[in-house]
Structure 1
Amino acid sequence: MPPFRADHVGSFLRPAALLAARSDFAAQRIDANALRTVEDAAIRDVVAFQEDLGLKGITDGEFRRTYFHTDFLLQLDGVEEAGGTQVHFHQHGGKELSYAPPVMKITGSVRHARDIQRRDYQFLAETTSRLPKVTIPSPTMLHFRGGRDAIDTVAYPDLDQFYADLSAAYRAEIAGLAAAGCRYLQLDDTNLAYLCDDTQRENARRRGMDPDALPRLYARIINDSIRDRPDDMIVCVHLCRGNFRSSWAAEGGYEPVAEVLFNELAVDGYFLEYDDPRSGDFAPLRHVPKGKTVVLGLVTTKLGELEHKDDVKRRIDAAAEHMPLDQMALSPQCGFSSTVHGNDIEVGQQADKLRLVVDVARDVWGEI
């Protein structure tokens, strides 16, 4: 039953052949069918890679995406990309990286016009003998970065109607995935993690939002989005503080959102970043109720240096002072390539990180 003792967030470094094909497609040297053929081959390889490691939850590496969120969100009616907002991403060693992530704007009624991930899920399911996991952006990704100013007032004079339409669109997508057989779904959410950062909270206030009220609003939106899922579909949420070329945008422990996150958000599990001090201590885990799993992201995807097995085990022991060990699992802290650019590590280091997760999980829990 997922999430598994040894699990992972979902994205992997893109192989050179896939990057070349995407460049050729952008330059109109190949068509969409030719690009998909290259994607299919790359996905078969990354599935075999995951299976060879012994992983039970298998993704397509997000190999069909440029960004973890925009490729999905732009396929909803009423959603358009409107430039980017300049952000200073932080890197280890005190360096900064300036980058403008795409901003989504709501220009009309949000509707689910077509299945977005179903075809991709079906290919993945046909390619693996293990449990396929689908990763999609959290619905909150269409609110936090822009707030009221990014939502057309003619289409939505009342924000409650926007929240209702957004949740309905997600329910339709999840229904299509469920009908195709998907039983392991992950929502990738940066916003609940950003609400742990003092600067991001102040930025939210400047956009006219109350950062103390947002966690409860976001729990309501997510719960409404997943409310009709089948009883046997496992839904997890991954909290991320930004993951672009080994850099991040937010810092701070989970305490500001913990009570709502663990007790009002109706998901089965949580993939939490815990690879370095920017994520705070384990004390917020005291809020985790029975029946929910926390996947500790103790192995960083931002640096190539491999963690020591005993150090990871000690961190698990420290977390177990605040919640039961049997409700925990282990994973890398984030994806290896949340955007097509990838983190600044090598393919061999990516494999070593995942082997470490598998080895530690087997030592700690006797299973993966």
Structure 2
Amino acid sequence: MLDLPRADHVGSLLRPDALKKAHRAHMDKKIDDAALEKVVAECITDAVRHEEQADLRFVTDGEFRRGSWFLGFVESLSGIELKKAELMFRLGGHEATWFGPVVTGKLSRKHPIVVNDYRFLAGITSRTPKVTLPTPSILHFFGGKEGMDPKSYKDRDALAEDLCAVYRQEIDELYRAGCRVVQLDEVALALLCDESIRASLKASGEDPQQLTDFYFDTIALALKDKPADLAVLVHLCRGNYKGHWMGQGGYDPIAERLFALPGVDGYLLEYDSERAGSFAPLRFLPKGKRGYLGVISSKTGALESIDQLRRRLDEAFKHAPEDRLGVSPQCGFASSVGGNPITEAEEWAKLGRVTELARAVWGTN
């Protein structure tokens, strides 16, 4: 098994102006595919250099090849469309429009999802490349009541069979290409810890506990054939759009099952505000798995002090052994091209603070 670092990050990074301008020019047909790829490659290479300078052992491409954390996945599958969905939550208390993935036909993988992204990343760094994918719940939870075509799938279990087969195929190709770290981004399970969201689901005729069970089962099914020496991390997210959040509530309702998920080696956990609840659920984190405490915020540019962060970690150590824990930012810096209210300089300072904190606490990052 790969030796996991003490410091990690969720993966997405603020899109540089050059990257956004190039995508706009490409959409307006002012530059061709080759010209766009040149800019994308340059921006990813520059981001990786910053990650290396921050002394991160796992590096990502910042998700620069996709418009948001889930779009690259959706665009790689047949049988999916993006449609406006009726949501049961708001963004930080504000109304928001969401275009969620809706299953309109039989699911299949049109082409590799992040395999080529991995190959490019592996070719420009001596650090360990990490790729990110959304968890299977993205194709069920966010589509609303009309999220699954009954002509294509008689029930959600039938959907899960085809969907998880896509994950197993992608993971197999990634592994054969040399990838040894995959991160799955999970939002639905974190939001199902929010009592107001659970109440809204009940009012709409859904059973929140059945949904919770289903999403855990799909992750396990997706990882069923995972090689033993492939590290899989799961990031729990309560929403991350322009500094706004979607849900709140501690991990207590899901912690015991979350930390027992087969095939999962580590967890990136949001812990930058009281919305995340207490550290008490960490008592379920077993030996052999690592919990990364997201005590550094990606939603604000204010740089947390080492002393402040160490006090937070001291609280966590009361609930889980120090050797089972690590640190990270609470979320990515830009789950979508819209980013967060933070500058690139602040972003790099925070990533440097993550590794600095790890060295201060564990003597290594």
Q: What displacement does 1:190 show?
A: 0.6
State the distance in 2 between where 1:177 and 1:291 align. 23
Structure 2 counterparts to residues 277-288 of structure 1, below 5 A: 277-288=274-285
Q: Which residue of 1 aligns with 2:272?
A: 275
Q: Which residue of 1 aligns with 2:332?
A: 335
Q: What displacement does 1:144 show?
A: 1.1
Aligned-partner SS, 1:351: helix
Query: Residues 186 and 2 (structure 1 numbering): CA distance in 2 closer, same or farther, change over 3 Å?
Result: farther
Structure 2 counterparts to residues 241-320 of structure 1, below 5 A: 241-320=238-317
Give yes or no for contact 1:43–1:61 (8 Å, CA) kept in 2.
Answer: yes
Q: Which residue of 2 aligns with 1:7?
A: 8
When the two structures are superposed, what TM-score results if normalisation uses the length of structure 2? 0.96
State the distance in 2 between where 1:108 and 1:227 align. 24
Give yes or no for contact 1:58–1:132 (8 Å, CA) kept in 2.
Answer: yes
Aligned-partner SS, 1:150: coil
State the distance in 2 between where 1:298 and 1:2 align. 22
Aligned-partner SS, 2:90: strand
Q: Which residue of 1 aligns with 2:91?
A: 89
Q: What displacement does 1:316 show?
A: 0.8
When the two structures are superposed, what TM-score results if normalisation uses the length of structure 1? 0.95
Aligned-partner SS, 2:37: helix
Q: Structure 2 regions of 5+ residues with no counterpart? A: none
Q: Which residue of 2 aligns with 1:27?
A: 28
State the distance in 1 between where 2:187 and 2:230 align. 23
Aligned-partner SS, 2:123: helix
Give yes or no for contact 1:288–1:323 (8 Å, CA) kept in 2.
Answer: yes
Deviations 1:178-201 (A, max 9, x none): 111110000001111001111221
Q: What displacement does 1:248 show?
A: 0.4
Q: What displacement does 1:71 show?
A: 2.2
User: 2:110 is matched with which residue: 105, 109, 113?
Assistant: 113
Q: Which residue of 2 aligns with 1:75?
A: 76
Q: What displacement does 1:102 show?
A: 2.0
Query: Residues 65 and 163 (structure 1 numbering): CA distance in 2 closer, same or farther, change over 3 Å?
Result: same
Q: What displacement does 1:207 show?
A: 4.5
Q: Which residue of 2 aligns with 1:39?
A: 40
Q: What displacement does 1:79 show?
A: 1.1
State the distance in 1 between where 2:3 and 2:311 align. 24
Deviations 1:154-185 (A, max 9, x none): 11113221111111011111111111111000
Deviations 1:234-259 (A, max 9, x none): 00100000000011010110111111
Q: What displacement does 1:281 show?
A: 0.5
State the distance in 2 between where 1:265 and 1:193 align. 18
Total equivalences in the alignment: 363
Amino acid at match of 2:28: A
Please tell me whether residue 191 in structure 1 is matched to residue 188 in structure 2: yes
Give yes or no for contact 1:216–1:264 (8 Å, CA) kept in 2.
Answer: no
Aligned-partner SS, 1:295: strand
Give yes or no for contact 2:85–2:144 (8 Å, CA) kept in 1.
Answer: no
Structure 2 counterparts to residues 221-232 of structure 1, below 5 A: 221-232=218-229
Give yes or no for contact 1:215–1:261 (8 Å, CA) kept in 2.
Answer: no
Aligned-partner SS, 2:106: strand
State the distance in 2 between where 1:213 and 1:10 align. 30
Please tell me whether residue 365 in structure 1 is matched to residue 345 in structure 2: no
Deviations 1:128-162 (A, max 9, x none): 10100000111111111235531110111132211
Q: Which residue of 1 aligns with 2:207?
A: 210
State the distance in 2 between where 1:202 and 1:282 align. 24
Structure 2 counterparts to residues 152-167 of structure 1, below 5 A: 152-167=149-164
Alpha carbon RMSD of aligned pairs, Å? 1.4
Q: Which residue of 2 aligns with 1:181?
A: 178
Deviates more, 1:100-109 or 1:233-242: 100-109
State the distance in 1 between where 2:350 and 2:125 align. 22
Q: Structure 1 regions of 5+ residues with no counterpart? A: 91-95
Aligned-partner SS, 1:99: coil
Amino acid at match of 2:90: H
Amino acid at match of 2:291: V
Deviations 1:276-317 (A, max 9, x none): 101000011111111110000000000111111111111111
Query: Residues 252 and 85 (structure 1 numbering): CA distance in 2 closer, same or farther, change over 3 Å?
Result: same
Percent of residue pairs identical: 44
Deviates more, 1:128-137 or 1:197-206: 197-206
